[in-house]
Amino acid sequence: MAVAEVARGDNSSSHILRSSSLTLDTSLSLPDLTPPLIELCKDLFKKWSELDDSSFSVETVSGGITNLLLKVSVKEEDGNEVSVTVRLYGPNTDYVINRERELQAIKYLSAAGFGAKLLGVFQNGMVQSFINARTLIPQDMREPKLAAEIAKQLHKFHQVNIPGSKEPQLWNDIFRFYESASILHFDDIEKRKKYETILFKEVYNEVVEIKELTDLLNAPVVFAHNDLLSGNLMLNEDEGVNEN
């Protein structure tokens, strides 16, 4: 049984996104986090609300740069076992990620075949279908066949039409990061010494120069990932690369 079917098994309006008011404490250890995580799943998916807690198992998933990823496996009353991925937002990541925009984009990207299906949201995270694949590591990026497949998928990714503002956000983000980075303070002496070696004025001038050069290209504005690290790519050996 597909996870997407489980998620909407008790609701005929499949387009309605499930939501929960619960918040999970990301500082908890996995054993302490498991009970509230099970409560969250029961709250989101009513089909599971009467299951005993022993029907649920939780494990961490590798990958993800700013989020904690957890796999929740559920043994249903009919004996079927299904899995979902619970994505917990990292602390303070809301300062750099527009969550409303992210949720909107995920719906359209999922429909286009990128990433996992969005099944539900809660106060500090989301629940998605589980992708049976492995996260890439930096060494994988050197493989010619994989590099070519990544480029091919990225080209398709850029063709997905996401409703909303078409104003390029890359430079806005870079200059915002620059402003935040240029006023940091470190109590640790060694960190402070390294920080003081950064020539922020030179960094700023170089960013401005690159922006001016790219403006000359008159390139089309597309929806881009802008954080395509190996940890954000998943590989199903049978199906190929998928962006996360």
DSSP codes joined into one string, the chain: --HHHHHTTT-S-TTSPEE------TTS-HHHHHHHHHHHHHHH-GGGTTS-GGGEEEEE-S--SSEEEEEEEEE-TTS-EEEEEEEEEPTTGGGT--HHHHHHHHHHHHHTT-SPPEEEEETTEEEEEPP--EE--GGGGG-HHHHHHHHHHHHHHHT----S--S--HHHHHHHHHHHHTT---SSHHHHHHHHT--HHHHHHHHHHHHHHHHTTTPPP----S---GGGEEEETTTEEEE-
Q: What is the pLDDT of residue 159?
A: 93
For the chain, 244 residues long, give each residue's pLDDT as a single digit of tens: 222 333 333 333 345 789 999 999 999 999 999 999 999 999 999 999 999 999 999 999 875 667 889 999 999 999 999 999 999 998 877 777 788 888 889 989 988 989 889 999 999 999 999 988 888 999 999 999 999 999 999 999 999 999 888 888 888 889 988 999 999 999 999 999 999 999 999 999 999 999 999 889 988 889 888 778 888 888 887 665 566 6
Q: Looking at the domain covering 3-132, what would its CATH class be?
A: alpha beta
pLDDT score, position 4: 32
pLDDT at 225: 82
Given this model, what pLDDT does residue 206 score?
A: 96
CA distance 76 to 149: 37
Q: What is the pLDDT of residue 234?
A: 87
Q: Write out the residue limits of the CATH 3.30.200.20 domain(s) in the chain.
A: 3-132
Rounded to an integer, what distance in angstroms lies between the CA atom of residue 63 and that of residue 231? 5
